[in-house]
Structure 1
Amino acid sequence: MNTKQLQYFLITVQKGSIAAAARELDIAQPAISQQLANLEREMSAVLFERSFRGVSLTKAGQIFLKHAETITKNINEAKLELQQIISNHSGTVRVGMLPSIGNVLSMPLIAEVNRYHPHIKLDISTGPSYAVKEWLKTNQLDIALTYEQEIDHDFMSTFPLIEEYMYLVVGCNDNSANYHQLLNRDSVNFWELSQFELLMPSLKDALGQLINIYEQKTGVALKHDKAYSGQLMTGLRQVIQGEGLMILPSSAMYHLEESNVVKSLKIEQPEMKRLVLATTNKSMRMSDATLQMLNVIKSVTAHEQACDHWRGRLAISYSSIANKSPLNIGVV
């Protein structure tokens, strides 16, 4: 007895004739007749009464029907469980992040997944903080990397990654008075920011909200009337051209610093910082692939922090990530 025979038997019972079963299965009628005859021979019982009107179950057939349904149900359930195990460990994981986070994490994250987790497909989307939050809420993402200003505990589960430092970013432009003024400095007090024309996002964005919090906290009003598109790369181009300064984490511009295109000064008194978190939607069951991706994200975050690309204090302990990834994390 095999699953094909069980399928042919159950469809024939359901349709009431071998001819109808053949049409349903889109196979030749003699093939079904042969398989049913083999099944009856193996069971040593006549399962169908055949007539010109079709077929009906014998008493033996009625008994066999109960067992056939149970066996088929068990086989289907076994297949489903196995498919869930396979899909949980593989498949696509959709990760959303802000451009500044994407600048530091995207490439090493892709490299890590391709090298050590080829069974997982990583699908990265980038957008403003409010868009990433909405994507997670509407189940368009499995993981969202965002800031504490955008956290909604009603639907988000959170996994802290790093408390990043904020910097004043100025273009290395010899024609810029701001550059010459800040050339020999490594830090700047928050109140001093009021001296400069800043390119700043609106309060709709998490960074705009953070800056507003510090303005209210310190009583220092900043100048942010310069035209700004809200696009990170466009803003950095304006900074490089000397059209204004920006407040950013190192994740957003470390690559430009390494190329001596921009200079950054750590904002102090008070120290300006914000918490970055990985978040998931509480209403969605996390697959094993998603859990694996969370561990990869933690490992890559620690690696980039150790490389000084993402400057700040890790919000995850080394012990929780040291054995999760082949990355050489280093001392944190």
Structure 2
Amino acid sequence: MDLKKLHCFIRVAESGSFTQAALILDQSQSLVSRQVRQLEVELQQTLLQRNGRGVTLTAAGRRLLDHGKGILRQVEVAEQALKNIDGIHKGKVNVGMTPTLGKLLTVDLVTAFFAEYPDSSLSIAENLTYWIQKRLILGELDIALLYNPAPSAYLNYQLLWTEKLCLIVPSDFSDNTVNSIALHEIINYPLIMPGGRHMIRHLVEIECTRHGIVPNVVIEIDAIPSLLLLVKKGFGYAILPANALNGVGQVDGLKALPIEPALMNRVVLATSSQRTLTPLAKKTIEILQSGIISMGYNLN
């Protein structure tokens, strides 16, 4: 498979248009179209459906797009490894993490990374664990920080730390004598929670079911900063780790009450079991771990 043709196809697929892809690639539209067509002939598959508004992916096209990104990423990794054969000089690392962890870790990671490797580049993607895990499996990411990830033969996991989930409430909630909330009392509080694909939501529902409790979820919202603002405004309460109140963009006027018996959230570092990490990616993991320790967490 010609990598230039694959790269061309990916640009067309992502932009949804031969015209836009040609602008991005700085090539003529006819050349872009010809390369994609040649790739279709080589693979004996129709990859794109052309229409008056642009293009849409066929089933084969979607499959190739998923794998193609990983292929190009692996080529990039190989090139980096050869360039850095005598040591770590420059390269790129792609990191994925949940938004809550991003709020907590991103600034320190970026600061430490570029202090040590100023000639390298760093890409950080934030999304739900489900999507970050998928991108890691496809080869689009080198490192991921996840909440309670599902088992996968394609990934290696390292448990970083565990943390108690808390009921997030306004600072003037009850009085200062209330230091925790019993799990069975959760049904008394209208909850603002992330959607069903969020792993903390999944964990809460599993534990509530195990204890015969049905949580009263009145609002679903994946954006944690917006969720916390709604709690502050009195629309309900949230169940999150206490560190959701820390980091960049923190919301004042809230406090975290641990839930008893404890609902334990697992924070996991994930890498691919199918691909070798570059030296720079390994160093990035060390930077992450050092930053986490400096914040007071005990790594498992």
Q: TM-score range by the shorter chain?
A: 0.5 to 0.7
Which residue pairs with 1:156 in the alignment? 155
Match of 2:239 in 1: 247
| TM-aligned CA distance change 1:257 to 1:115, over 3 Å | closer
1:85 paired to 2:85: yes
Q: TM-score, normalised by structure 2?
A: 0.68
1:30 is matched with: none
Match of 1:282 in 2: 273
Residue 187 (structure 1) aligns with: 180
The answer to whether structure 1 residue 298 and structure 2 residue 289 are counterparts is yes
Q: d(CA) in 1 for partners of 2:292 and 2:100?
A: 13
> Counterparts in 2 of 1:307-322, with a 5 A limit?
314-316=298-300
Structure 2 CA distance for partners of 1:145 and 1:89, relative to 1, 3 Å: farther
Do 2:164 and 2:265's aligned partners in 1 also have CA atoms closer than 8 Å?
yes
2:209 is aligned to 216
CA distance in 1, matches of 2:266, 2:119: 31
Q: Distance in 2 between matches of 1:202 and 1:80?
A: 38
SS at match of 2:276: coil
The secondary structure found in structure 1 opposite 2:174 is helix
Secondary structure class of the residue paired with 1:158: strand
Letter in 2 for 1:230: D
CA pair 292-89 structure 1, distance change in 2 beyond 3 A: farther
Q: Percent identity between the aligned chains?
A: 23
Bigger radius of gyration among the two: 1
Amino acid of the residue matched to residue 191 of structure 1?
Answer: H
Please say if residues 99 and 252 of structure 1, whose CA atoms lie closer than 8 Å, have aligned partners that are also in contact: no
The structural deviation recorded for 1:101 is 0.6
Structure 1 pair 188–144 and aligned structure 2 pair: CA distance change class (3 A): same
Q: Does the residue aligned with 2:295 lie in a helix, a strand or coil? A: helix
Number of paired residues?
222
Residue 251 (structure 1) shift = 2.4
Any residues of structure 2 matched to 1:1-332 within 5 Å, and which?
83-85=83-85, 90-148=90-148, 150-172=149-171, 179-181=172-174, 183-224=176-217, 226-255=218-247, 260-268=252-260, 270-305=261-296, 314-316=298-300
Long gaps (5+) in structure 1: 1-78, 173-178, 307-313, 317-332
Distance in 2 of aligned mates of 1:248 and 1:119: 37
Q: SS of the residue aligned with 2:296?
A: helix
| Aligned-residue offset at 1:259 | 6.8
Q: Is the 8 A contact 2:193 2:221 kept in 1?
A: no
What CA RMSD, in Å, does the superposition of the two structures yield over aligned residues? 2.5
How far apart are residue 171 of structure 1 and its match? 2.3
